[in-house]
Structure 1
Amino acid sequence: MAILILILALVILLAYFLLVNFVGPSMILKPRQKNFLIDGKIISSPSELGLDYENVEIKSFDGVTLKGWLVKAGSNLVGNVIYIHGTYTNKAFGLKRAKFLSEAGYNVLLIDLRYHGESGGSFCTYGYLEKFDVSEWISFLLKRFPDVPIALFGISLGGAVAIQTAGVDNRVCAIIAEGSFANFYDLIFDYHKVKFKFSPKFLINKVLENVERTSGIKVNEISPIEYVKKVSCPVLYIHGKNDETVKPWHSIVLHRYTSNSEILLVEGAGHVNSWEVLGDGYREKIIEFLWKNCNKNKIQ
């Protein structure tokens, strides 16, 4: 019996060691990505949706290759939108949104965040480094279209990155943040609580300590709630009331601390599926918000 207890204790210790040092940090820093499907077909190019585009590429401040698709406005150009995808996804997940934005007169730059899609990078850092990458993309667009305003449209992680970017770069005319988190630690804690029904703080703290050790990021600095206090442009928050991945309180708190914002809480919607619930109302709200706040004809 004593031997069995000893073996069990050793197994538990080994599992703990692997979880906090390898499995946990890897799940956070290296999220596995999904393919994008429309009607069961993997989409690999905007041209498959009839969109005029070009492949674009830049180098980040630390030498990482970042890639994207620049979808051209289908009518008279009124603005630029940088679409920022969520965790586990890539730029292709923004194609359907790019289609209606292009039709409304916006160039749409769909980017792959570092460690996603075709971009390089060793880790996903949840905005710690990505905010500077997006700032480089802003510079890229301003060189191509010097008099055209730029909005950021972020989904889930992308919303948090958009907020952090605008907190350090005032060249943004508007932000749409759908399903964003307010604080990285709370996001990780809630996520594990929902997924595993077990999320002790001491365990999360050890995992995050090793996330910092492995990647060099500072977890307490991944906090959109702090960056949003420095954001001067208008922000539209969208969040599903039934979101279990990123609880609605994240957007509610962000809205409360944003000087110029509005919030759309969608009844019956979960994580970033408000479009499916609202239908045409979703597109109309996005276009109305951008037309008001990111339109070169009105700004000039």
Structure 2
Amino acid sequence: MKQYKSWFFILILSVLTILTSVAYYASSQIMFFKLREIEIIIRRETRGKRMNLEVLKNMPKNELKIPSKFGYDIHSTFYHPHETNHWMVLLHGVSENSISSSKYVHMFTDMGYNCVVYDARRHGKTGGIDSTYGYYEKFDLESVIERLKKTYGSDIRFGIHGESMGAATMLLYAGELSNEAEFYISDASFARFSEQLTSVYQSISKTATAPVLFFTYLILKLRSHYSIYELSPIKVIDQIEQPILFIHSKKDKFIPYESTLALYKKKKGPKKAWYPERGDHVESFNRNQKKYRSTVQSFIEQYAGWEVRSNHEQ
């Protein structure tokens, strides 16, 4: 009997060791995923004719390092080509950086607004050890907005545009921290990070069983000090009183557009949605530029009352 108990203990210990090892590796992939190189993003956006480096280079701007509440600097660029107090704050997606937001800088400055772009935690030139998909990033957004008001006046009016992780960060900021923006534009946000993460891991690995996922989420909490279940824009979406424009391609293979459908359904008050038929994840602008702009423009005019330029000057 004692021998059986010893073998049973060894078996359990071995299983736990294997589960912990696999889960530790998986949590590392979540925290420290590979980032896209800046040169690759520039080449991609330039070839796609979505970014004009010469225009961005000559546009009046301030590059600032904003202190994060977590001990690192947030690299940001404030584009101010117009004498206006209307600003757009732009948040990029996971593995990208602020250069990815250049196409939106062109679009919004073309409409007559100034823009703020910045590298998210651990991305681009911003510090930070790990990525948390909006949990700590929402506080960095708060710091950027505080600097925006401090630098350009407390009377500024601003909206926020985010895609993918940037959209989720924006919604968490609005639902948990502050409701200062006049409107929000959410492009391809997840509704619950736990569901998104489970779906991704189960699609790429047969080891993504319930026990492995449980240990992964547990180790992730121990290492990054947050629970993935706290990353749920859908839990706070009904706290956002301001208008939200939801955009999500129906053919998105990474974050299903049903996530945005759920967010839209739960959102109270003014809202608008557009679900284009073309484009994969955060490709709605790339595939439907004219429709994207007209949808955003009509939303801003209707819900914020901001004047929008009718010509396309860059």
Q: Shared topology, TM-score over 0.5?
A: yes
The aligned residue for residue 166 of structure 2 is: 158
Segment drifting more, 233-242 vs 280-289: 280-289
Q: Tell whether 2:223 aligns with 1:214.
A: yes
SS at match of 2:126: coil
State which of 18, 32, 53 in structure 1 corresponds to 2:21: 18
Calculate percent identity across the aligned residue pairs. Answer: 22
The aligned residue for residue 278 of structure 2 is: 268
TM superposition shift of 1:113? 1.2
Q: Tell whether 2:77 aligns with 1:69.
A: yes
SS at match of 1:26: helix
SS at match of 2:248: strand
TM superposition shift of 1:198? 6.0
Structure 1 contact 20–206 (Cα < 8 Å) conserved: yes
TM superposition shift of 1:135? 1.1
Rg larger for: 2
The aligned residue for residue 7 of structure 1 is: none
Matched pairs, number = 286
The aligned residue for residue 106 of structure 1 is: 113
Q: C-alpha distance in 1, partners of 2:301/2:118? A: 22
Q: Tell whether 2:302 aligns with 1:292.
A: yes
Alignment of 1:52-131 (within 5 A): 52-73=60-81, 75-77=82-84, 79-131=86-138
Q: C-alpha distance in 2, partners of 1:40/1:236? A: 28
Q: C-alpha distance in 1, partners of 2:54/2:90? A: 14
- CA deviation digits over 1:88-119, x for unaligned, max 9? 11111000110121121111110111111111
The aligned residue for residue 181 of structure 2 is: 172
Structure 1 contact 152–175 (Cα < 8 Å) conserved: yes
Is the alpha carbon distance of 1:48 and 1:134 closer, same or farther for their aligned partners in structure 2, counting shifts above 3 Å? closer
The aligned residue for residue 5 of structure 1 is: none
Q: C-alpha distance in 2, partners of 1:198/1:182? A: 24
TM superposition shift of 1:64? 2.3
The aligned residue for residue 33 of structure 1 is: 35
Q: C-alpha distance in 2, partners of 1:46/1:55? A: 17
TM-score by length of 2: 0.83
Is the alpha carbon distance of 1:211 and 1:145 closer, same or farther for their aligned partners in structure 2, counting shifts above 3 Å? same
Structure 2 contact 19–215 (Cα < 8 Å) conserved: no
Segment drifting more, 59-68 vs 157-166: 59-68
Is the alpha carbon distance of 1:218 and 1:13 closer, same or farther for their aligned partners in structure 2, counting shifts above 3 Å? closer
Q: C-alpha distance in 1, partners of 2:111/2:141? A: 23
TM superposition shift of 1:185? 0.2
SS at match of 2:62: strand
Alignment of 1:185-204 (within 5 A): 185-196=194-205, 199-204=208-213
The aligned residue for residue 287 of structure 2 is: 277
Gaps of 5+ in 2: 1-12, 309-314
Gaps of 5+ in 1: 1-9
TM superposition shift of 1:141? 1.3
Q: C-alpha distance in 1, partners of 2:84/2:14? A: 62
State which of 140, 148, 151 in structure 1 corresponds to 2:156: 148
Q: C-alpha distance in 1, partners of 2:79/2:14? A: 53
Q: Tell whether 2:138 aligns with 1:136.
A: no
Q: Tell whether 2:252 aligns with 1:243.
A: yes
TM-score by length of 1: 0.87
- CA deviation digits over 1:186-245, x for unaligned, max 9? 010111233336632222221111111111112221110112121111001100101110
Is the alpha carbon distance of 1:77 and 1:287 closer, same or farther for their aligned partners in structure 2, counting shifts above 3 Å? farther
Give, as a single letter, the amino acid of the residue that structure 2 aligns with 1:258: K
Q: C-alpha distance in 1, partners of 2:296/2:57? A: 20
Is the alpha carbon distance of 1:263 and 1:296 closer, same or farther for their aligned partners in structure 2, counting shifts above 3 Å? closer
Task: Name the Cα RMSD after superposition.
Answer: 2.6
- CA deviation digits over 1:97-146, x for unaligned, max 9? 10121121111110111111111111111111111111111111122232
Is the alpha carbon distance of 1:268 and 1:77 closer, same or farther for their aligned partners in structure 2, counting shifts above 3 Å? same
Q: C-alpha distance in 2, partners of 1:47/1:278? A: 22
